[in-house]
Amino acid sequence: MIPATDLHLLHSSPGFSAVRFFPCHRSRTPLRGRFFTVRSSLPFPNEKAKYHKELEAAMEVVERACRLCVDVQRSLFSDEGRILEKNDQTPVTVADFGVQALVSLELSKLFPSIPLVVEEDSGFLRSNNLVDPVVSAVSDKTSFDEESLSRADVLEAIDRGGKDAFAFGTKPATYWILDPIDGTRGFVKGSQALYVVGLSLVVEGEIVLGAMGCPNWVVDTSYRSTADVQGYKNSSPGLGIIMVAHVGCGTWTKRLKDMLDSSTKMSSDWTRCFVDGCCLVPEARFCISDSQTWESLPLSILYEARIDADDDIRDKEIRLFPTCCGSLCKYLMVASGRASVFILQARSQKVIKAWDHAVGVICVHEAGGKVTDWTGSELDLAADQVERRNIYPAGGVLVTNSNIHDQILEMISSNSTVV
């Protein structure tokens, strides 16, 4: 376990400012932590990474969270009660809340003064009688003794990062951003669709590290068809990856299967990720939002989209990957070099959430890519001054390999009435 007293971060971030709003209901019996050592060494020397302890912890808890997701998903289709609908009709499962509780529990133990920004709160969980299944899902994945982990502990952990839990104010702040499951619609489809557990750390307005786990990612460098790339065809369960990034240290991936399978000897093989080298927009491979069509985007005036990647692309056409659920897997596609561009148009009726982008931003940046809004400005994570939950990119979000970023911005500007 990483001693909280050793954390330089708490002493090196004078700009940190947060006020707790929710009451802390402590369990009568204090939680007893299991002693554990972070198993996964980083792919770069610790002395090169200012926040190496924080990244080690993030990587460890994302691995545990992915294991929780895999276990819940295995039982999902035999227990329909595990799939429910929130008011916004987004599927929510035991895994969403389980991951949020797990990550909150572990981070609050190691970094008790750093707040967590995340989507859910326990109200939905309580009203739908899902507390016990979540406690069960979390209990054997935490470093706490199972006997000492109570319902109250899990509910408090969930609410630690929920709406109205903290007020940050206008000063720069230090906080974690978590997306428990980005691509929940993919999660409930089973092993043939991608979903991502994403965790990042923001220090004084800068994203300094991130870890993304994708249990269904197909580790195959051939990926001739886009269907194979997305994991919708010929994918094997458990072949996923974890991607980590640290400011100034690059973006790296490692097989998640080796981490999840306790019978497999841990491998130290990390692969450094780089964005692709595409320099011409017509040769780029595009990803778009699940809820948008190519025809709704400004570039559709210039190019038609072809989803069949095996065919030659003709003049005035571009390659468009099939839809995969959530935003973070699209960042993962660009950071790993499998896609060249992810473009998202902002819509007035839909708020863009920080957790759908934060960890993806640093992974793409450290892989050599670029992320801006449609005017070329960096995403402002502090625009939501009180809660740090929402971002307001002008026009939308553009994620590229850097080479073609300015070209696409110019095309957007010339053909859009939004920017």
The whole-number pLDDT of residue 18 equals 38
Residue 268 reports pLDDT greater than 50: yes
Catalytic residue among 93, 142, 174, 184: 184
End-to-end distance of the chain based on CA atoms, in angstroms? Answer: 48
184 is catalytic: yes
User: Model confidence at 258, in pLDDT bands (50, 70, 90)?
Assistant: low
Q: Nearest-5° angle of CA 214, CA 218, CA 221?
A: 125
Question: Exposed, middle or buried, 158 (CB in 10 Å: 0-12/13-18/19+)?
Answer: buried
Residue tagged active-site, from 93, 96, 251, 276: 96
255 contacts 219 by C-beta, under 8 angstroms? yes
Q: What angle do CA 20, 22, 28 make, to 5 degrees?
A: 110
Is residue 179 a known part of a binding site? yes
pLDDT at 17: 36
- E strand or H helix at 208, and its extent? strand 206-214
Note the pTM of the prediction, 2 decimals. Answer: 0.85
**147 annotated ligand-binding residue:** no
Does the annotation list 71 as a binding residue?
Answer: no
Q: Which of 30-44, 50-64, 180-194, 399-413 has the lowest mean pLDDT?
A: 30-44
The stretches of 237-292 forming alpha helices (DSSP H) are: 256-260
Q: What is the pLDDT of residues 360-387, one digit of tens each?
A: 999 999 999 999 999 999 999 999 988 9
Q: Per the annotation, does 119 bind a ligand?
A: yes
What SS3 state is found at 370? strand
Give the C-alpha separation, 96 to 260, whole Å: 19
Q: What is the pLDDT of residues 28-43, one digit of tens each?
A: 344 544 433 344 489 9
Of 256 and 259, more confident: 256
What string of DSSP letters covers 59-112?
A: HHHHHHHHHHHHHHHHHHTT-GGGEEE-TT--EEEHHHHHHHHHHHHHHHHH-T
